[in-house]
Amino acid sequence: MSHKNTRAGAPKAKTFTKRRLREWGTGWLFVLPWVIGVSVFFLYAMAQSLSYALSDVRLTNGLTVTYQGFQNFITLFTSDTTFPLALSDFALGLLLQVPIIVAFSLIMALMLSSKIKCRAMFRVLFFLPVIIATGPVMDELTQQGVASVPMVNQAAIQGVLASLPNWLSEPILNLFSSLILILWNSGVQILIFIAGLQKVSPDMREAARIDGASGWEIFWKITIPTVKPMVLLNAVYTIIALSTGGQNAIIQLIYNSMFDSAVGRGYGYAAAMAWTYSLVVALALLLAWLILRDRNKKVVYEKRRVAMKGGYYHGDEKKQA
């Protein structure tokens, strides 16, 4: 029961009010700065951004907001030539890249957790991109043509992909042409998996060995189930990383609409783009959760998930009460 420590001296029923009131007060004081911040910069801003999305926003001496219903969204999907395309490219990119990054990180973590020499050096190397991989740097590298693996023949891949429909072959081609930079996204995930692998209990492996399990069996029956919650965590982390940073065409489109008076349609239109985009990101997160959640061990899983995300598990308490 690792959770019994989490509550500040649970108040007894008789001394209830005074003590609990003080606890409430102190608790609120601690989180107060954030409550103000989140109200202004997140909740209020969300409401504002939603109202922008449903309005025509003009920057003529001050901000004029005229409600116009779903007009921005209609324009977005009927007469915009770039956004729907960029959005579907982004979604397909996520579908392809997230599994690759997560699987790659797991393989790297497994290799880095085995008994090899220079382990520390390898870890430092593979974490390096987290420090240096940023949009402008990756743009420069792409422009110099060093984003893809040097030995891979691009023309050959193009030949193989020629038989596929265009909407599918293009993301795959993108994948190969910037494979290094995509794999560069795996630094944090590798470390998360390594931390997870350390939790695989040596006793359990020893016991399995004595029972005659092979290394292969131990890997599938013990190691993989232990790191399974990390897979979800890493998938979520990867989706967020890919959707907020680096070379993201959609973010650029949103900013263009905000600031570029020549091509932009204003804040309202930008807000509509941002809401559509966030919806896609939310769907991707939901999809990851649906696929990767552990269906069998609901309670254990729920605890882990909540703990991982920094939540607080309430199940036990209800049982005690």
Partner 1 sequence: MAMKKSRRKRTPLERREHLRKLLLGSNEKQGVLLNIVVYTLLISIAFIFLYPVLYMLSTSLMPKEDLLDTAAKWIPSSIYTKNYTDAMQTMDYWNSLLKNLAIAFFPTLAQVVVCSLVGYGFARYNFPLKSLLMVILMLSFLLPAQLTIMPNYVLFANLGLKGTIWAFIVPAVLGMGFKSALFILIFYNFHRQVPNVLLEAAQIDGTSGFGAYFRIAVPLSLPAVVTVILFSFVWYWNETNLTQVYLGYASSRNNGLTTLLIELQKFETSYEALYSQWDASPNKLNGAIRMAGTMLSILPLLLGYLGLQRYFIESVDKSGITGE
Q: Which of residues 26-65 bind partner 1 (CB under 8 A)?
A: 26-31, 33-38, 40-46, 48-49, 52, 63
CB of 78 to partner 1, least distance (A): 22
Q: Which residues of 36-50 are buried (b: 16+ CB within 10 A; e: fewer)?
A: eeeeeeeeeeeeebe
Q: At its nearest, how many Å lie between partner 1 and the CB of residue 215?
A: 7
Judged by beta carbon, residue 40 or residue 168, the one nearer partner 1 is 40
> Which residue in the set 136, 153, 165, 166 belongs to the binding site for partner 1 (CB under 8 A)?
136
Helix (H, G, I), strand (E, B) or coil at 57: strand
Q: How far is the CB of 171 from partner 1 (least distance, A)?
A: 20
Residue 186: closest CA among 117, 97, 308: 97
Q: Which residue has the tokens 């949103």?
A: 254
Q: Which of residues 211-230 bind partner 1 (CB under 8 A)?
A: 215, 229-230
Rounded to a whole number of angstroms, the minimum distance from the CB of residue 4 to partner 1 is 8
Report the nearest approach of partner 1 to the CB of residue 295 (Å).
19
Q: Binding to partner 1 (CB under 8 A): which residues in 76-135?
A: 108, 111-112, 114-116, 120, 122-132, 134-135
Q: Which of 202, 157, 203, 209 is nearest to 178 (CA)?
A: 157
Say if CB 182 and CB 101 are below 8 A apart.
yes
Question: Total binding residues for partner 1 by CB under 8 A?
Answer: 108
Which residue(s) pair with 56 in the sheet? 66
| Contacting partner 1 within 237-266 (CB under 8 A) | 240, 243-245, 248, 251, 254-255, 258-259
Q: Closest CB to partner 1 among 128 and 156?
A: 128
Piece of the chain touching partner 1 by CB under 8 A; list 71-79, 84-92, 157-165, 309-317: 309-317
Min CB(68)–partner 1 separation in Å? 16
Q: What count of other Cβ atoms lies within 10 Å of the Cβ of residue 139?
A: 14
Q: Which is nearer to partner 1, 15 or 166 (CB)?
A: 15
**Residue 165 or residue 310: which is nearer to partner 1 going by CB?**
310
Q: What is the DSSP string of 138-168?
A: HHHHHHTT-SS-TTS-HHHHHHHHTTS-HHH
Is the torsion defined by CA of 232, 235, 238, 240 positive or negative? negative
Q: How many residues does the chain have?
A: 321
Most distant CA atoms of the chain, gap in Å: 79
Distance CA 292, CA 287 (A): 8
CB of 77 vs partner 1, minimal distance in Å: 18
CB of 47 or CB of 164, closer to partner 1: 47
Tokens of 30: 């601690």
C-alpha span between 215 and 171 (Å, rounded): 37
Question: By CB under 8 A, which span of 22-30, 79-87, 95-103, 165-173 interacts with partner 1?
Answer: 22-30
Among 56, 92, 96, 139, contact with partner 1 (rule: CB under 8 A) = 139
Q: Nearer Cβ to partner 1, position 154 or 244?
A: 244
Report residue 72 as tokens: 């921005």
Contact 265, 75 (CB under 8 A): yes
For residues 152 and 160, which CB has a smaller minimum distance to partner 1 in the complex?
152
Residue 60's H or E segment, with its range, is none
Query: Judged by CB under 8 A, does residue 200 bind partner 1?
Result: no
In whole angstroms, what is the distance from residue 17 CA to residue 287 CA? 44
